[in-house]
Amino acid sequence: KSGNTLEILDIEKRFEGVDFPLGEQGKISFFGFIDRIDRLNGTLRIIDYKTAKIKNLIVKIDEANVDEYFHSNDRKQALQLCIYQYVVQNLPEFWGMPIETGIWSFAEAKKGVVSLQFERGDIDDAMKSVKSLIEEILNPGINFVEEIKAYSNN
């Protein structure tokens, strides 16, 4: 009615072998599934469905925090969307298209798709932070610590 054009391009889009350079350590390759890719009025939208509420999709990366920005568990949704954006930008069928990434939450369905926004920094800065996190994960000198939430019956 309002003249918008929506085209669903893919559901559960599988991607693999999307290389991500790590400098001296070589590279890694991303593999995964993107819940939905559509095109709304000419803009490619990468949408992830969540049952949880949407959290911290306004990214504020600068030189002071770029290395540790995604080391916070509170930013895992933004981290995931940044990786998806990087992947889609590197798939030949989507080269040169304007891209938006976002989450559609079942817990907050009335909000619709909530987009990732860069208040400071951009996707390149975000991927520097992703690189820092991956290098930490691959560093055998840093112990892996799993935090387990304690649940009470009260």
Condensed to tens digits (0 to 9), the pLDDT of residues 102-152 reads: 999 999 999 999 999 999 999 999 999 999 999 998 988 988 777 787 776
Residue 154 and residue 138: Cα distance in Å, rounded? Answer: 39
pTM listed for this prediction: 0.89
Tell me, what's the pLDDT at 144? 79
Residue 5 and residue 25: Cα distance in Å, rounded? Answer: 44
Q: How confident is the model at residue 69 (pLDDT cuts 50, 70, 90)?
A: very high
Tell me, what's the pLDDT at 47? 98
Query: Is the confidence at residue 40, as pLDDT, over 80?
Result: yes
Tell me, what's the pLDDT at 42? 93
Residue 127 and residue 141: Cα distance in Å, rounded? Answer: 23
Q: For 19-24, what is the mean pLDDT? A: 91
Q: Does residue 23 contact residue 13 with C-beta atoms inside 8 Å?
A: no
Residue 76 and residue 44: Cα distance in Å, rounded? Answer: 22
Q: For 3-19, what is the mean pLDDT? A: 95
Q: Cα Rg for the chain, rounded, in angstroms?
A: 17
Question: Dihedral of CA 135/147/80/68: which sign?
Answer: negative
Q: For 55-81, what is the mean pLDDT? A: 94
Q: Does residue 36 contact residue 21 with C-beta atoms inside 8 Å?
A: no
**Location of structure tokens 């000198």:** 141
Tell me, what's the pLDDT at 153? 66
Query: Is the confidence at residue 84, as pLDDT, over 70?
Result: yes
Tell me, what's the pLDDT at 154? 59
Q: How many CB atoms lie within 10 A of CB 26?
A: 8
Show the DSSP H helices in the chain as ranges. 76-89, 123-138
